[in-house]
Amino acid sequence: MAELAKGIRAYIIIGLLAALSALAGIFTMPALDRDESRFAQATAQMLESGDFVRINFLDEARNKKPVGIHWMQAVSVAAFSSAEAREIWAYRLPSLLGVILAALACFWGGQRLIGREAAFAGAALFAVTVLLGIEGGIAKTDAMLVGCTTLAMAALANLRFGEGGRKTAILFWFAIGLGALIKGPVTPMAAGLALIVLFAWERKARWMKPLLFWPGPLLAIAMVLPWLISIQIATDGGFLRQAIGDDMAPKLVGAAERHGGIFGYHLLLLPLLFFPAILFLIPGAGRVANALRGKDSDQAAGAARFLIAWAIPVWLVFEFLPTKLPHYVLPAYPALALMAGWGLMQLTKAAAWQKWVSWALFAFAGLVFAIALPVLFVVYGNNASWDAVRLSLGGFEGGFQLGLDPATAAIVFLTAAIFAGLTGATLVAARGRSVALVLCLAVASGLGWQVMARGAAAPNAYAVRLADQVRAARSYSQTIAGIAPEEIVTASSYTEPSLVFSLGTDTVLGTAEEVLAFAESREEPILLVLDTSRAPGLIDGLMTSEAPDADSIADRLQNLGVCHEGLASGTNYSRGDETTLLLLFTRCLPEPLNDPQD
């Protein structure tokens, strides 16, 4: 362990682990509904319009979160791709960087708290945790947010134990400013609560004095205020009014957008989302308790208080918050990981009950993952509804396959078996005395989960890639409708943001009636996408003559000159609905004649 934690080598290892964890699936998973696609589409519109102040999704102002992540995504897309290419991986790179920053900052701050080897263990475990890896592969705010928050707390840890002085204080304020520009109050709240708790607990404030060095707060203000003033002017004061009144306030008083949960919601999910570090968290908590009881040095007691002040207040805020999503407590995970690293280094001294509880939690999470992921893949990897079968028999092309691809299924089940083997080997090693071995196996288990879930199962779940199916159908518009894919307008009653990101900003969304009316008002070819799960009777109207209201839709489609009928079939996981989409090319142009001179 000492060799792994030495010098710059330790930072390289931790950075690589974080990168590998986040990279699983980053290039192969489709744009996710709903938040990721909304963030990516808003960034694409910034690049298309040249307006980097306002945040819009189609024609709707998205006054919910600050602009920071959009600027980072815009830089990434401009450097490695383009808005026209619609390559979601380019929008995910800032999240990858956020995960790396979080893991490195965890190690940097942890060294001052619990020593280099324990901090290395904690940061390595944190780098491969399930939740951090997931967020590192999604193009939204939370991975970069935890990076900023961890950097701020690591700076505080160094100040708390007499390292860095004013330079470290300026770094703290930089992290606060960047965190505020990414997701508003979360980073300042986490750091502020920790400072308040530590002062109330220890009655010491001298170490906080460098934070008052005026360039630091001025830097944070200068990072946020110019854009905040600009967006307030651009939206006639609407940004703060909507961000606070329409987005934040409902989350404080109720379960906004049906995202509710009981008190203890985040604690119940901890064994799964904190895997594999959950194996050492209970011994780590015992180590913290012993330090607080004075069984160690004053340094250890101070470190224990700091970790508690970092993790517990922010955790309680989100447990009491009526609106709950699993990633809300991610800013507390680095502190828990450092506790776990601390517990690992003292694993042989942990009480027997602490070990047994940890083994049980780890085994439970491993068993759930090893069984649930393959089962979910079988259920959602490829499915065909009866509606899709009827439409296919009626002449509609594409949209589903019966059964799983054997090679793909074999890869998913093989990765699940490897993950299960690594989990079992970790449990066996945890009963021995080799700290380095059990750490390596635990880290391998975490990476194994990322490969199984995000590298193999999720990217190959064809049934949930409805937007990709539509885009694939549109790619034949030149042959079918005589117009290039990037020029044909799509009007869709399937309204998930992934479809807009996949097809482009000119996509028209609405109800079936609205998109039909839009098509009737135009003369050029249009690709109509009709969501049958939201238009009862539509399929009967197309396949039979028994439903008068559906017949009128069929008549309208006939008047639009439908020249090709296709379908996409799968699952809308945002709504939990089995979904079949009708893909109708209308008013097709004749194929252009070849130039006689060619």
- Per-residue pLDDT tens digits for 425-462: 999 999 988 899 999 999 999 999 999 999 999 999 88
**For position 550, what pLDDT does the model report?**
45
279 in any annotated domain: no
Instruction: Specify whether the backbone of 537 is left (phi greater than 0), alpha (psi in -120 to 50) or beta.
Output: left
Quick: pLDDT tens for 131-150.
Answer: 999 999 999 999 999 999 99
The 3-state secondary structure of 326-388 reads HHHHHHHHHHHHHHHHHHHHCHHHCCHHHHHHHHHHHHHHHHHHHHHHHHHHHHHCCCCCHHH
Mean pLDDT of 504-532: 93
Tally of CB atoms within 10 A around 41: 27
Look at residue 345 and tell me if it is in a domain: no
- The Cα 95–Cα 138 span in angstroms is 7
Mean pLDDT across 555-564: 84
75 and 156 housed in the same domain = yes
The helix (H) or strand (E) run that includes residue 408 is helix 406-430
Same domain, 185 and 202: yes
List pLDDT tens digits, range 482-516.
899 989 999 999 999 999 999 999 999 999 889 99
**598, pLDDT greater than 50:** no
Whether the per-residue pLDDT at 172 is higher than 90: the answer is yes
Q: What is the pLDDT of residue 402?
A: 64
DSSP-derived letter for residue 457 is I
DSSP state of 15: H
Residue ranges of alpha helices (H) inside 453-567 are 466-474, 477-481, 497-503, 512-520, 538-543, 548-559
Tell which wins on pLDDT, 548 or 121: 121
**Residues near 354 by beta carbon (within 8 Å), at least 6 away in sequence:** 282, 283, 286
Which residue would you say has higher pLDDT here, 383 or 348?
348
Is residue 593 scored above 50 in pLDDT?
Answer: no
pLDDT value of residue 544:
61
Helices 165-183 and 142-160, interaxial angle, to 10°? 160
**Contacts of 335 by beta carbon, 8 Å cutoff, 6+ apart:** 153, 307, 308, 310, 311
Position 66 in a domain: yes
User: Is 261 domain-assigned?
Assistant: no
Pick from 70-84, 186-200, 343-357, 387-401: least confident? 387-401
Instruction: Name the amino acid, one letter, at 541.
Output: G
Tell me, yes or no, whether 126 lies in a domain: yes
* Residues β-bridged to residue 260: 323
Among 446, 462, 478, the domain boundary falls at 462
On the 0-12 / 13-18 / 19+ scale of CB atoms within 10 A, 292 is middle
Residues 410 and 491 in one domain: no
Omega before 276 cis (within 30°)?
yes
Residue 591: what pLDDT? 58
What's the number of domains the chain is made of? Answer: 3
Answer yes or no: is pLDDT of 221 > 70: yes
Q: Tally Cβ neighbours within 10 Å of residue 384.
A: 18
Confidence category of residue 400, pLDDT binned at 50, 70, 90: low
Distances from the Cα of 591 to the Cα of 169, 479, 482, 484, angstroms: 67, 7, 5, 11
Q: How far does CA 265 lie from the centroid of its chain? A: 19
CA 298 to chain centre: 39
pLDDT band at 335 (very low <50, low <70, confident <90, very high): very high
- Residue 273 counted as domain residue: no
Share of the chain above pLDDT 70, in %: 95
Asked if residue 359 and residue 212 are part of one domain, the reply reads no
Residue 37's alpha-carbon distances to 88, 92, 151, 238, 570, in angstroms, are 9, 11, 27, 23, 18
Q: Is the domain of 448 the same as that of 531?
A: no
Beta bridge partners of 567: 582
- When comparing pLDDT for 250 and 482, which is higher? 482
Do 429 and 505 have their domain in common? no
Mean pLDDT of 284-294: 93
Are residues 92 and 147 located together in one domain of the fold? yes
CB-side exposure of 360: number of CA atoms within 13 Å?
7
30 & 103 share domain: yes
Verify that 250 and 358 share a domain, yes or no: no
Q: What is the pLDDT of residue 548?
A: 46
CA dihedral over 470, 32, 461, 100, signed as positive or negative: positive
pLDDT of residue 259: 78
Q: Are residues 28 and 177 in the same domain?
A: yes
Distance CA(78)–CA(94), nearest Å, equals: 13
Domain boundary among 191, 223, 254: 254
Other Cβ atoms within 10 Å of 577 Cβ, number: 12
Flag whether pLDDT at 295 surpasses 90: no
Does residue 464 have a pLDDT over 90? Answer: no
Quote the domain boundaries for residue 361.
353-382+402-462
Question: How does pLDDT run across 296-312, given as a tens digit for each residue?
Answer: 788 899 999 999 999 99
Terminal-to-terminal C-alpha distance of the chain = 70
Q: Do 434 and 494 fall within a single domain?
A: no
- How deeply is 303 buried, as exposed, middle or buried, from its count of CB atoms within 10 A (0-12, 13-18, 19+)? buried
Q: What is the pLDDT of residue 399?
A: 65
DSSP letter (8 states) at residue 521: T
Beta-ladder partners of 562: 586
Quote the pLDDT of residue 530.
93
Lowest-confidence range among 258-272, 388-402, 506-520, 576-590?
388-402
CA-based max dimension of the chain:
92
Q: Are residues 118 and 181 in the same domain?
A: yes
- Would you say residue 119 lies in a domain? yes
8 A C-beta contact, residue 581 and residue 470: yes
Q: How many residues are recorded in the chain?
A: 598
Q: Which of 254, 276, 310 is the last residue of a domain?
A: 254
pLDDT surpassing 90 at residue 272: yes
Report the pLDDT value the prediction gives residue 575, as an integer from 0 to 100: 85
- Evaluate if pTM is beyond 0.75: yes
User: 433 lies in a domain?
Assistant: yes
